[in-house]
Structure 1
Amino acid sequence: MTCIAQISDIHVRPKGSLYQDLVDSNAMLAQAITALNEVRPAPDLVIITGDLVDEGRPAEYAMVRELLGALTLPYIVMPGNHDNRDHLREAFADHPWLPRSGPLHFTRDVGTVRLIALDTSVPDKHHGELNRDDLAWLDAQLDACQDRTAVIAMHHPPFITGIPYLDLYGLRDAEPFAALIASHPHVDRVIAGHVHRSMQTRLGPVPVLTCPSTTTQIALRVEADAQPASYLEPPAFMLHRWVQGKPAVSHLSYIGRFEGPLPFA
């Protein structure tokens, strides 16, 4: 069995500061870490799919490292639109799989799975892009692991969500990406963050799933004139589990203490 846990959009702030001046995102990440540490059997790896911090500042990354010190599981990080590549690189200089220059694309083998982290961030912008070089890199990585199950992790999900104020900042021109993964049948799924909600769709036969934030959740408003809003809905993480070579089963697990356990049925 191979298991990868996913958290996303943790938006860590400097010590004593609140996310959007309203929410203690640092405390909420600490709660998420406690929940991840309690998962049994323990996941093989935790991936954080972007927006580690809110303003890309070194003090925020120092706080991320301090908080992640409580995580008892191996973890990897990748950037989102709120991250600064250079400051992220500096903060995680002891993570040798992070490239020393350019986009933060990398791969990791986790049990039977080749995890391919694809950097969709655009410096100083909030939307996502993948250029020809990015797609050529991805194609080469997929060619190199045809004997393994491949999972692509990215910050910006490669689909239109239907929430208008989210889609302004989505992944632009996702069709070449969709065509590329369609040519690689060993891609099991695509996992993403960015949207602060759980969403599921497909690109051809490939499932695409987004992970909620550990902080606020974006309001589900699909009207054309919808105004941006968030709610303090329960935060959550995801567990992607591969058993006996079959496609993954992806579980959504809410973070917090809830009444129970109650008798089944």
Structure 2
Amino acid sequence: MTLHTRIDAPPVPAETTTTGALTITGLSKDFHIDGAALPVLDRIDLDIRAGAFISIVGASGCGKSTLLRLIAGLDTDYAGEIRLDGKRIAGTSLDRGLIFQDHRLFPWLTLEENVGLALLNTDIPKAQRPRIVAEHIALVNLTGFEKAYPHQLSGGMAQRAAIARALVTEPKLLLLDEPLGALDALTRVHVQRELQRIWMTQRSTMVMVTHDVEEAVFLGDRVVVMDAKPGRIRRIVEIDHPHPRDRSSPVLHRLRDEILAELTGPPPEKLVHLPVREVQA
């Protein structure tokens, strides 16, 4: 059975871009091990409207990171289609930014040099690049650290620098693969708030993979819950709660507990798209 789910973004201010709509149709992916095909993703159908923040959760091995790699264009060996604003994804592009768990800043470059590096292969005139870099450093609240090297930044600051580098090319879609997983608990909470603020300011479409259900609920407009072996969409949970959010909200706590119970409970005999209950604050 093919699952089809439409994910709607919250209202986007008129002055922001409306590009960044992602459509995934009949997506299946196999790994080949010792000559045998191992299904990793099975018939994923997903529509994400421009400006949405989507969280993807599921057990290890359910294909979350594989899905992100396919969207990024890092792997083109799959069945089905992935389209961004109607154009088929056939490789990497500046239209899609990618942030990993490790910030991957170059240690021999300063913060502003690391951020500016992303502009090297763009058509942006060199005279305009310093201003654009400065604007994105300010966006992630790192003004004053332009000349600092990565080893002089805290883990949270370095990850925010990675976010600035990913956004400096103004991608239509930002993909985040466990971006806060290496941070300590207190820093993680702080950077979650910063990421929420950046998204509300920038309104790029964001798709984040995380193992942290509380994080997924706090940041996402929708949470895509996946099952494993092979990876399929089990349920879409709508987070009907306005941004910016209060993480102590009973609405968020209830949804977190529901998703955790579903992830840790027995798998359903048949995968279906469960209706989303209306959530009252």
TM-score normalised to structure 1 length: 0.35
Structure in which a larger fraction of residues adopt helix: 2
Structure having greater relative contact order (Cα 8 Å, sep ≥ 6): 2
